[in-house]
Structure 1
Amino acid sequence: MPKQKPVTEPFPIFSVGNRFLLYDVNVVSHVRAKYHVCGTLSGTLPQIPQQNLFLGLPLELMVEEAALLVEKGAAYVVNDVATHKTSLESMSGPDRTAFLARRLASSEAEAVARHERNFQSRKAFAEANNLPEPTPTEPDMETRYHHIKTNSEAPYYSLKNSPDALKPSPDPAAFAIYTHLQEKGYFLSPGLRFGCQFMAYPGDPLRFHSHFLVTGLKWDEDIDILDIVTGGRLGTGVKKAWMFGGKQGTEKEDGESRVFSVEWGGF
């Protein structure tokens, strides 16, 4: 297994539409170990776009996860589309010519290698079946392919913060309980499939089951008794407790945070 490379902070979070993505596997490992940020793998194969198991890079962050990393100074947001266009437009004439020359040489070498592999395969087949040996031919240089090597490491250190990039703006109530539980050492993941905002794990989700279904509320927000019953019954039905809480004061104030958990008795 290759050794993880060190990560320099701050690192970029790539904004694509209204999503926040990480492309570098070293950064993904870094934020999971240091900041308890797990995200959701969203990469799939072009040939199997409907698969939802064994997904890979990029890692999609919840808006609360992106906001936390930016708030801690560990990351900054880059407009992925604008940065890509700017990089291409800023490439000088000689650099572009040299790049195209390298690409042409690479595609020609790939064409020759492919032609040789095909010839050796036909030759081995002829020998195995007592057929006449095939006649060597010249590779077809008109039909060339450029092999794109996949890489799970992104050369991001030269990228700059994008003023026009979408800044993560989470719901204040949800972000308050998210940061509170983060400070307590919990790992949090999206809770949509359980009818809540977050799932709270006492450790890495690869090692632990979640203990709480979490919903953030405003400090003075009224709670309907039906919501308490529903949350408690739902949480107990999936062997978890329903947790709700909030923070006193505004988002930037160091106000008091309180959380409560509800379990349904008799189950």
Structure 2
Amino acid sequence: MTSSTPASALDAAALARYIDHTLLKPEATQADVAALIAEAVELGVYSVCVSPSMLPLTLPADADLKVAVVCGFPSGKHASAIKAAEAALAVAQGTDEVDMVIDIGAAKAGRFDLVEADISAVRAEIPAPLVLKVIIESAALTDDEIVGACRAAVAAGADFVKTSTGFHPAGGATVHAVRLMAHTVAGALGVKASGGVRSNADALAMIDAGATRLGVSGTRAVLSGAAVAAPANPAAY
């Protein structure tokens, strides 16, 4: 989609190519992941996003589907060496993309040098053309902290900045945060909106604000134009 094309002009097939079809519930089973993959292929999404213990995945031979995995999830309070090792294992097990969580406390303290170093440690284990997305937990940050975290991601060589884990009590993606993130990275990185994208209107609003990828669990409903019921945890996917 170009800047001159409104998100409202996207049909379901085009919108599907923005979506990381996501399953990160702690109680998820291998059978659940197999169902996720089957649904992802049916719906024509860009990727599936799963927990690292679910790797390696078995995809249909002809599937046009990427595999994404989370890292340092959901708190981000893992040592950088542990995040790097987790990313390296995911790469060895066939992931195409890694969605890492920053140390949110370091961002809150204004230590963006530490945020950059944390991201750099993971980036070192993810060779191009594999993709690194950086989850900044935007709902827990001020605007200045969002800007600082995004700049750290750019400096560390990430490919995307991402709003949310979907598990933080502060909430998930907002149009304001996506717009601010997109303005800050200015096209140098992609922007992924995740956490609370539960309707077609939500998805299109995020894309209009500058999102180039979406993390969605209720993908079928989002593509059909229906709304997904909010879970008990308002931030959850």
Q: Same fold (TM over 0.5)?
A: no
Which one has a bigger Cα radius of gyration? 1
Scaled by the length of structure 2, what TM-score is found?
0.23
Scaled by the length of structure 1, what TM-score is found?
0.22
